[in-house]
Amino acid sequence: MTRGFYIGRFQPFHNGHYSMVERIAEDVDELVLGIGSAGDSHSTRNPFTAGERIMMITKSLVDFDLVTYAVPIEDLERNSVWVSHVQSMSPDFDIAYSNNPLVIQLFHEAGVDVRQSPMFNREVLEGTELRERMIDDEDWEGLVPDPVVDVVEEANGIERLQMVNDSDSNGT
Ligand SMILES: Nc1ncnc2c1ncn2[C@@H]1O[C@H](COP(=O)(O)OP(=O)(O)OP(=O)(O)O)[C@@H](O)[C@H]1O
Ligand SMILES: NC(=O)c1ccc[n+]([C@@H]2O[C@H](COP(=O)(O)O)[C@@H](O)[C@H]2O)c1
């Protein structure tokens, strides 16, 4: 039995993340999804709460033949102990997956087997691009799994993002 760990901010969970889970599912029987920066919400970079992101992930992966766990991981001031912090919050895992260079470096230094995947359609499948489209009332729904559209709607997410983006840009 192999268990993987995949961390991201998932602001929001999009089709690139979904493709990465499909790719990881070829290697593992179980997967922990770490909800990074779990304490952050209501900002342009991190509009959705940990709970909203858990709903996006749980509903999007419901049909996968894979046991999944979503675990919120708050940020720490100290990169040097971040892997221990992650391990203290997560079920044990054998392999970590990330395409984030800092995350890869920290797992590597801690002696954890860490693997990258190819980037899928990165020109559009990027959280920053999706949040810009939400702010500008452009099409974003086709770039996320269908349940994510419902979660954003239930949270009034577009209105929230547009509001916090105005406050962030005004420096208020
Ligand atoms: N299109 C993609 N294909 C493969 N991996 C991706 C893709 N988009 C993001 N990832 C990876 O998924 C992990 C989590 O990504 P993250 O939640 O930061 O999304 P992001 O799209 O990079 O968003 P942001 O622009 O908000 O940083 C990271 O390791 C990231 O490199
Ligand atoms: N010191 C820390 O708290 C620390 C270090 C490395 C990564 N992280 C977090 O891990 C997550 C990585 O996800 P992304 O690949 O989506 O950036 C982010 O939430 C990031 O803040 C935190």
- Which residues in the chain show pLDDT less than 50? none
Predicted TM-score (pTM) of the model is: 0.97
Which CATH superfamily does the domain covering 3-170 fall into? HUPs (3.40.50.620)
Picking from 42, 35, 45, the residue whose alpha carbon sits closest to that of residue 131 is 45
CA of 20 to the centre of ligand 2 (A): 17
Count of positions (residues) in the chain = 172
Q: Domain map of the chain by residue range?
A: 3-170
ipTM of predicted assembly, 2 dp: 0.97
Could you give the CA distance from residue 18 to residue 76 in angstroms, rounded to a whole number?
27
Q: What is the pLDDT of residue 172?
A: 58
Ligand nearest to the CA of 13: 1
Q: Which atom of ligand 2 is nearest to the CA of 76?
A: 3
Q: What is the pLDDT of residue 171?
A: 60
Q: Which atom of ligand 1 is nearest to the CA of 36?
A: 17
Does the C-beta of 36 come closer than 6 Å to ligand 2?
Answer: yes
CA of 122 to the centre of ligand 1 (A): 9
Contact 15, 125 (CB under 8 A): yes
Tens of pLDDT, residues 1-34: 999 999 999 999 999 999 999 999 999 999 999 9
Could you give the CA distance from residue 31 to residue 115 in angstroms, rounded to a whole number?
14
Q: What is the pLDDT of residue 7?
A: 98
Q: How many angstroms separate the first and last alpha carbons of the chain?
A: 50
CA of 82 to the centre of ligand 2 (A): 9
Does the C-beta of 62 come closer than 6 Å to ligand 2?
Answer: no
Does the C-beta of 102 come closer than 6 Å to ligand 1?
Answer: no
Q: What is the pLDDT of residue 146?
A: 98
- Token representation of residue 58: 């749980």
Ligand nearest to the CA of 10: 1
DSSP 36: S
